[in-house]
Amino acid sequence: MYFTDVSVYNSMIDVVFKVHFDMSPVKTRKQNSRKLPSIVWGPTCCSNDKISGDVIYLPELFVGDWLKIHDTGAYSISVASHFNGFPLPNVHAFIRKEDVIFLTEKVDHPLPKEKFVFGDSIEGLLTGLTLPSRYITNYF
């Protein structure tokens, strides 16, 4: 059993509607760790706050490890709430380099390049992130 600081009430509401999200660790501390049957829960005391749905298989994780929740999409954070006083999660979007170039150079109102961290892998990118994060969403 794993507990996260993301909840069906603050960003994973789609789970209530039986939407399944694949989850994987960003990296593990034990190389070649075998996968174990796991359930991922949110931080509330609510019995509905099970964000993994059914049993999933994950390697052994430790406090502070990052869990990537794949393809959460537009309706995850937009319908989030501060249920039980829990804060909304910080979001780090991982996008392709060509999309960053488009967003910083080719649109009418370009975004500043310092808003992006560049790298070849998620593990490499984590070293450049300075904000505390509670989940990762990707838009590939």
Q: Which residues lie below 8 Å from residue 49, measured CB to CB, with a gap of 6+?
A: 7, 8, 9, 41, 42, 43
Cross-strand bridge partners of residue 23: 69
Classify residue 83: in a domain, yes or no: no
| pLDDT score recorded for residue 129 | 52
> Alpha-carbon torsion 58, 77, 47, 42, what sign?
positive
- At 39, which CATH number? 2.40.37
pLDDT digits (tens), the chain, 140 positions: 899 888 888 878 777 777 778 888 877 676 667 889 999 998 888 888 898 878 899 988 888 888 888 877 666 777 777 777 877 776 666 677 788 888 888 889 888 877 676 665 665 555 555 444 444 444 33
Backbone angle region of 6, left / alpha / beta, with phi > 0 → left and psi within -120 to 50 → alpha: beta
Classify residue 36: in a domain, yes or no: yes
| pLDDT score recorded for residue 17 | 75
CB of 38 closer than 8 Å to CB of 56 = yes
Pairing label, strands 135-138, 2-3? unpaired
Classify residue 56: in a domain, yes or no: yes
Structural domain tally of the chain?
A: 1
Q: Which of 45, 63, 107, 131 is catalytic?
A: 45
Residue 46 bears catalytic tag: no
Q: By residue range, what is the domain housing residue 39?
A: 2-72+89-138
The Cα 99–Cα 15 span in angstroms is 29
Classify residue 37: in a domain, yes or no: yes
